[in-house]
Amino acid sequence: MHKNFNWVSVVALALVLILSACGSNNETDSESAADKESEKETTWDKINEEGEIVVGTSGTLYPTSYHKEENNELTGYDIEVMREVAKKLDIEVTFEEIGIDGIFAALKSGRIDAAINDIGIKEERKKTYSFSDPYKYSYTTMIVREEDLSGIESIEDVKGKKAGGAANTGYSQLAEHYGAEVVTYGNATNDVYLRDVDNGRTDLIINDYYLQSLALEAMPQFDLTLHPDIKMNPSKQAIMMGKEDQELQKKINEAIAELHEDGTLTEISKKFFNGQDASKKPEGDFEEVNYE
């Protein structure tokens, strides 16, 4: 062996090569993980690939999501809006009928891709879900018995009364906020709610103005009315999606903007809301009640 051979240099060089190799592997692994994350399939990717979006709706909420009596076909303002959105996106839409209390869980689990059922945009909901731009504007009102307004002169008189409602809705939360006892239903139709107020099982229903007024018009057999003095919380209804579905949200928003611009939303609204345009903000003074 050569006398001047430097073992220290050899060992140092070997260590440098080993450390360099380790550094390269770590960088490669990091880049690979980042690439995989960026390539992760989104809800929109799946929808676009399959050519179909699965949308949750109740099918029991007149006139936004219900079945025609003559042929049992699913229709309504929300249903026809969603069909037009799907046309703009060049995809098919399949509706899965679920009670409103189950829609949120179905969206979380991935059973459905989106939901449309007169769902209001709420700050609390936005922590868990994302929403499209509004396709409907309205406000909150109350159905009561016509003969005595169910003993309710102001919203504070709701305390101690029984309010018919569905679980997990802002309307039920509002009733509870004012001290009402909420009598919850499953996926019940409007006539069930109205009959119970009429016969005294419940005293009131807090809900959307358009839905309430049309339900009363469709079922004149009940001695009920909209409360003349209670108008609250202008609302915005939108299509609900998963929290991380920004790409799907963007696509749906583009479609809704086109439907606003070309007058399709107005046309559909007038068909289902007796000539009224629910796609535009209502005028008037409304009491703002924060119950979240």
d(CA 6, CA 210): 90
CATH 3.40.190.10 given to domain 138-234: yes
Closest CA to 206 of 222, 183, 239: 183
d(CA 38, CA 34): 6
pTM: 0.72
pLDDT per residue, tens digit, the chain (292 aa), is 444 444 444 434 343 333 344 444 444 454 454 444 446 789 999 999 999 999 999 999 889 999 999 999 999 999 999 999 999 999 999 999 998 889 999 999 999 999 999 999 988 899 999 999 999 999 999 999 999 999 999 999 999 999 999 887 889 999 999 999 999 988 788 899 999 999 999 999 999 899 899 999 989 999 999 999 999 989 999 999 999 999 999 999 999 999 999 999 999 999 999 999 999 998 888 888 776 6
Domain definitions of the chain by residue range: 43-135+238-272, 138-234
How high is the pLDDT of residue 39? 60
CATH 3.30.70.1380 given to domain 43-135+238-272: no
Average per-residue pLDDT for the chain:
87
Same fold for the domain at 43-135+238-272 and the one at 138-234? yes
Closest CA to 284 of 241, 231, 245: 231
Closest CA to 214 of 159, 271, 253: 271
Read off the pLDDT of residues 213-272 as tens digits, 9 standing for 90 and up.
999 998 999 999 999 999 998 999 999 999 999 999 999 999 999 999 999 999 999 999
